[in-house]
Amino acid sequence: MKPSPLWLDAAETASQLGVSRATLYAYVSRGLIRSQPQPGSSRAHAYAREDIERLRRRAEARRDPAQAAAHALEWGIPVLASSITFIDGRTLYYRGHDVVALARSRSVQDVASLIWTGAFGARFAVPTATVVQPPLPRDASFVARAQTLLAAAAAHDPAGADLRPTSVAGSGWRMLHLLTDAATAARPRRPKDDSTIDQRLARAWRTGPGGAEVIRAALILCADHELNVSSFTARCVASAGSTPYAVLIAGLSALEGFRHGGASARVEAMLDGMRSAAAGRRRSDHARSLRRAIAARLRRGEAVGGFGHPLYPEGDPRARALLDLLRAHDAGSVELAYVDTFAQAAASLVREPPNVDFALAALARVLHLPTGAPLMLFAIGRTIGWIGQAIEQYATGQLIRPRARYVGPTPVLAAGGG
């Protein structure tokens, strides 16, 4: 089996660190380096590349503290302990379960139970109380609608301040339905309506047969992704002792940014704008036209968003799973043919495969979802992760408080201060 890009064997690890095998094993026993058995071997272990890099940076920091501080917050430090998501460079796992398998076989509630409680089987009460949407401009964004709904619900939910795990999970399930309301502009749910979240979205968006299955998979694939910027924001807010409602409002603010979940809006616009380039009669004509249009875009200095991911050198498994599911759902779709041709043409030029932002935008085109649906799906799915991260952080009782490296003017002593 080809070795994982994020894991090294013992010889490589010892060489990278410049230590003996005995010292390496001591690092593992002290919890400084994670290890796991290598597939197909009962004795050989592999060691986490990011832990090795962190130890190397720590050694460099002792030699040059200023240089180390300059890169501390970018893809590395701080490192917080979490038992939710593990990324090995090829795929990701929620509490040890392969996310692609979960997306194919489990419900949204199953995955919420797994992330929030550590096991399948927990059931959460479906909210029946009505939350009145405060007045907003007609063109208000999904995030604005969701945040105002959350703030209104928090004002009428004293239990939302209960930070015990079971109570936080219950609040999380209520908030998942509130975000679904914001996404569908739905009227209050009827008491006897037992539709799942994916079924509610599919019905509101009129996806037709099988649409709910694709939406369910998208929500699960987006549920958590370790300490991305919105999840780190969620943990920081939780570390201050704020309520789960405040955690979600903050997480949504971070997610909306164009360097995070908001990147899907750029991909949507790009796919819309370049659709005319695929207007030839034959698919080979489409491919050539798109390749020329994408090349022209690159020459103008315009980004081709939705491709490549730093944590997946061999391709984003979430994108691969979603695109495969779309092909199985509607193999004859004209829009599917377009996004597939676009993906192949773009990947051949930027030399990186599609990521989850592209896959969500592709899903929206194939299912004919409303503009902005990719971000809505991302946000509703990631709510599960934010609540899981908050539960973990509440349990630590610790405040997250990184330090800054001051680079401003030299302080001037006050008169008479000598």
What does the pLDDT look like over 52-85, one tens digit per residue? 888 887 776 666 655 554 554 555 556 688 999 9
Length of the chain: 418
Predicted confidence band at 282 (pLDDT cuts at 50, 70, 90)? low
Residue 212: the pLDDT is: 96
What span, in angstroms and rounded, lies between the C-alpha atoms of 227 and 287? 37
Predicted confidence band at 35 (pLDDT cuts at 50, 70, 90)? confident
Residue 353: the pLDDT is: 95
Say yes or no to pLDDT of 307 above 90: yes
The class of domain 80-402 in CATH terms is mainly alpha
Residues with Cβ within 8 Å of 97's Cβ and at least 6 positions away in sequence, in order, are 114
Predicted confidence band at 1 (pLDDT cuts at 50, 70, 90)? very low
Residues facing 307 on adjacent strands: 354
Q: Where in the chain is the domain with CATH 1.10.1660?
A: 7-79
Which parts of 118-242 fold into alpha helices (H)? 142-155, 165-184, 197-205, 211-221, 229-239
Percent of the chain with pLDDT over 90: 61
Do the Cβ atoms of 394 and 244 come closer than 8 Å? Answer: no
Residues facing 8 on adjacent strands: 47
The class of domain 7-79 in CATH terms is mainly alpha
The predicted model gives 301-311 an average pLDDT of 93
Q: Render pLDDT for 328-376 as a digit per residue (tens, 0 to 9).
A: 998 889 999 999 999 999 999 999 999 999 999 999 999 999 999 999 9
Element (H, E) at 104: helix 99-105
Burial of 48 (0-12, 13-18, 19+ CB in 10 A): buried
Residue with the bigger pLDDT between 7 and 361: it is 361
Residue 69: the pLDDT is: 47
Residues with Cβ within 8 Å of 176's Cβ and at least 6 positions away in sequence, in order, are 108, 112, 197, 380, 383, 384
Residue 342: the pLDDT is: 95
The DSSP symbol for 188 reads P
Q: Render pLDDT for 121-144 as a digit per residue (tens, 0 to 9).
A: 999 987 766 677 778 887 889 999
Q: Where in the chain is the domain with CATH 1.10.580.10?
A: 80-402
Residue 133: the pLDDT is: 74
